[in-house]
Amino acid sequence: MVRLEVKGVSFSYDSTPVLEDVSLTVKGGEILSIIGPNGSGKSTLLRCIDRMLRPRLGTILVDGKDINALSRGEVARKIGLVPQSERAHFPMSVFEMVLMGRRPYVDWSPSSRDLKIVSDKIEALGL
């Protein structure tokens, strides 16, 4: 299971600080909720963790490795992010949305093994 460590992360949009010295650790199998008012930096923190944004200060480790030392594919295999405000530009079933999470493991088109993995996960989650 993946271990995530955020150490002293700070981020600013231009001259506006959004995150200041944020630290947290999530061990494999743990669930973490990030709550706060609008504009408090929740999405910014997630974007830093997913490497969509680069913190001004601090370190983000995934399984003990600096996230900036990992390839984009390695990051995608360790971290999946589905923003709640994201709107699909075309209708997608739950199966298709979960299958998108397999993208880092699929070369061109999903195999029967990929389809089974998706079906099993949907069933396990009761979706």
Fold designation for 4-78 = Rossmann fold (3.40.50)
Residue 96, pLDDT above cutoff 90? no
**E strand or H helix that includes residue 77:** helix 72-78
Q: Kindly report, residue by residue over 108-121, the tens digit of the pLDDT.
A: 888 898 889 889 98
Q: Kindly report, residue by residue over 35-86, the tens digit of the pLDDT.
A: 999 999 999 999 999 898 999 999 999 999 999 999 888 888 888 776 666 5
- Taking CA atoms, 35 is separated from 32, 39, 41, 94, 110, in Å, by 10, 11, 10, 26, 35
pLDDT of residue 88: 63
pLDDT of residue 108: 81
Per domain, the residue ranges of the chain are 4-78, 94-125
